[in-house]
Structure 1
Amino acid sequence: MFFRWTLVVPVLMRVVQALLSLLAGVTTALELDLTVDIPPGKFQCFFQPVDVNKHKTMEIDYQVVDGGDLNINFVLLLESNKLYEDILKTDGTHRVNLQVGGDYQICFDNSFSYQSRKIVFFEIFLLDEKGEADERDVLKVGVGDGNANLETLGIPIAGFFDATNRIKSQLNKVEYYQAVLRAHEARDRAVMTANFDRVTLWSCIHTIVMISVGVLQVFLLRSLFEDNSKVGSLLRKGKIGYRF
């Protein structure tokens, strides 16, 4: 029994090391998502460096989740060239075919607002020629010690690579849709809170007006039946005299 375990344990350790070496580079994904606060009257930009040797497409998604009328101006710049511009939009998606490398500017303009800050959620995806967001392909990551270890153990690595690529692609999609759903949920919550505050304010105003009108009506009706009431006497006469 001891002899069997002395053989099995090293084999298991080699399998674990091979799997870790294969998966070590899979987590390097060129995805960026941020939630930023744009103060009123401000124009803020965020820079994303791009290497056209690695990346062929850049996708930008943005959404205003809170603040004012939930709109903002969006500008995508490369040096002094304006690539895309949105005016007073709640959300937007832009896909750029990368021909020139450099620092791309993702700008949000809230200069038209004097008192409302804007909370903006945006995502940046840098994709290769296959449309994948990972900087390194798992097939290339598997070349090395991990590949040799799996071959030595007689494990078919082709199927493992295919399964890992499929899992990676599905996880990227899940992460993207989760981020979009979070942004939608945050915006819906902000709209609901704003509507609740507006309804509460006008309900209080209407209640105060109704109570004031009711008190005034009671006062006027009582004055009609009181002989010594000046207001009642004026109402009974049907006119109000002014003395200067």
Structure 2
Amino acid sequence: MRSGAGGMRGWALLLLLGALLAGGTELTFELPDSDKQCFHQELDRGLKFTLDYQVITGGHYDVDCYIEDPSGRAIYRETKKQYDSFPHHAELTGIYTFCFSNEFSTFSHKTVYFNLQVGDEPPILPDMGTRVTALTQMESACVTIHEALKAVIDSQTHYRLREAQDRSRAEELSGRVSYWSAGETVILFVVSIGQVVLLKSFFTEKRPSGNAGGT
């Protein structure tokens, strides 16, 4: 997969989580405000691909996403989505473009995770798709373990994203509480000083401003 920048700055900080895992790419990247980031993948006609994405941090946890085929036609377009999954079979051979846009936001940076799976997973056994005999007990156990491990990996990815999202929200809430506490402290000092000055003015003896004249 190749990445291409768009928008005003057209850059992104990419953190590679697991590149080209069984015909797929898994990336987490930062998407600045008022910016767009595009990725490109060459696909053959009839090949199945699935795009899963989720906004981890930033703003309202939403992003615009669209996919274009080699002819420039949009085959998928969603605005302000927090997460989604899009399976599709390529109708044309060529380079497909996957874009994530944060152009509607003027100050919120986003962190976006996406996983692009290309093609079907190869069978765990070489002749599993053509054999006519039943699986042996060992083969059945291997298939069961394989499916269970896939479920564990999917669950770990889901919980890792949820943990990162919850941590971001907790840090944001902690920052707001700190600012609110600092503001309350300043207000408390101002009110206390004001009360002292006001009470002092009540007990201060006022002397006449001028001398009385005699005859």
TM-score, normalised relative to structure 2: 0.74
Residue 200 and residue 44 in structure 1: after superposition, are their counterparts in 2 closer, same or farther (change >3 A)? same
Query: Conserved in 2, the CA contact under 8 Å of 1:138 and 1:161?
Result: no
Q: State the partner residue of 1:45.
A: 38
Gaps of 5+ in 2: 1-19, 129-133, 208-215
Percent pairwise identity = 29
Question: What is the CA-CA distance between 1:116 and the residue it aligns to?
Answer: 2.6
Q: State the partner residue of 1:92.
A: 84
Q: State the partner residue of 2:212.
A: none
The CA distance in 2 between the partners of 1:165 and 1:100, in whole Å, is: 34
The CA distance in 2 between the partners of 1:102 and 1:186, in whole Å, is: 35
Q: Which of residues 12, 32, 35 is equivalent to 2:25? A: 32
Residue 197 and residue 42 in structure 1: after superposition, are their counterparts in 2 closer, same or farther (change >3 A)? same
Q: Quick check: 1:217 aligned with 2:195?
A: yes
Alignment-mate amino acid for residue 123 of structure 2: D
* Structure whose CA Rg is larger: 1
| Cα deviation 1:26-66 (Å, max 9, x = unaligned) | x972232110111222211112333346x43x222211111
| Cα deviation 1:43-91 (Å, max 9, x = unaligned) | 11112333346x43x2222111112332211112213111112212222
Q: Quick check: 1:163 aligned with 2:160?
A: no
Q: Quick check: 1:190 aligned with 2:168?
A: yes
| Cα deviation 1:149-181 (Å, max 9, x = unaligned) | xxxxxxx98443333233222222221221111
Secondary structure of the residue that 1:96 maps to in structure 2? strand
Q: Which of residues 96, 108, 117 is equivalent to 1:116? A: 108
Q: Which of residues 55, 64, 75 is equivalent to 1:83? A: 75
The CA distance in 2 between the partners of 1:138 and 1:173, in whole Å, is: 15
Residue 168 and residue 32 in structure 1: after superposition, are their counterparts in 2 closer, same or farther (change >3 A)? farther
TM-score, normalised relative to structure 1: 0.66
Secondary structure of the residue that 1:138 maps to in structure 2? coil
Residue 91 and residue 78 in structure 1: after superposition, are their counterparts in 2 closer, same or farther (change >3 A)? same
Residue 67 and residue 182 in structure 1: after superposition, are their counterparts in 2 closer, same or farther (change >3 A)? same
Gaps of 5+ in 1: 1-26, 129-133, 143-155, 230-244
Q: Quick check: 1:103 aligned with 2:103?
A: no
Q: State the partner residue of 2:155.
A: 177
The CA distance in 2 between the partners of 1:99 and 1:164, in whole Å, is: 35
Q: In the comparison of the two structures, how many residue pairs are matched? A: 182
Question: What is the CA-CA distance between 1:228 and the residue it aligns to?
Answer: 3.7
The CA distance in 2 between the partners of 1:111 and 1:68, in whole Å, is: 13
Q: Which of residues 118, 122, 139 is equivalent to 2:125? A: 139
Question: What is the CA-CA distance between 1:97 and the residue it aligns to?
Answer: 3.5
Residue 166 and residue 102 in structure 1: after superposition, are their counterparts in 2 closer, same or farther (change >3 A)? farther
**More helix per residue: 1 or 2?**
1
Q: Quick check: 1:70 aligned with 2:48?
A: no
The CA distance in 2 between the partners of 1:163 and 1:46, in whole Å, is: 39
The CA distance in 1 between the partners of 2:73 and 2:103, in whole Å, is: 20
Structure possessing the higher relative contact order (Cα contacts under 8 Å, 6 or more residues apart): 1
| Cα deviation 1:216-240 (Å, max 9, x = unaligned) | 01210111111149xxxxxxxxxxx
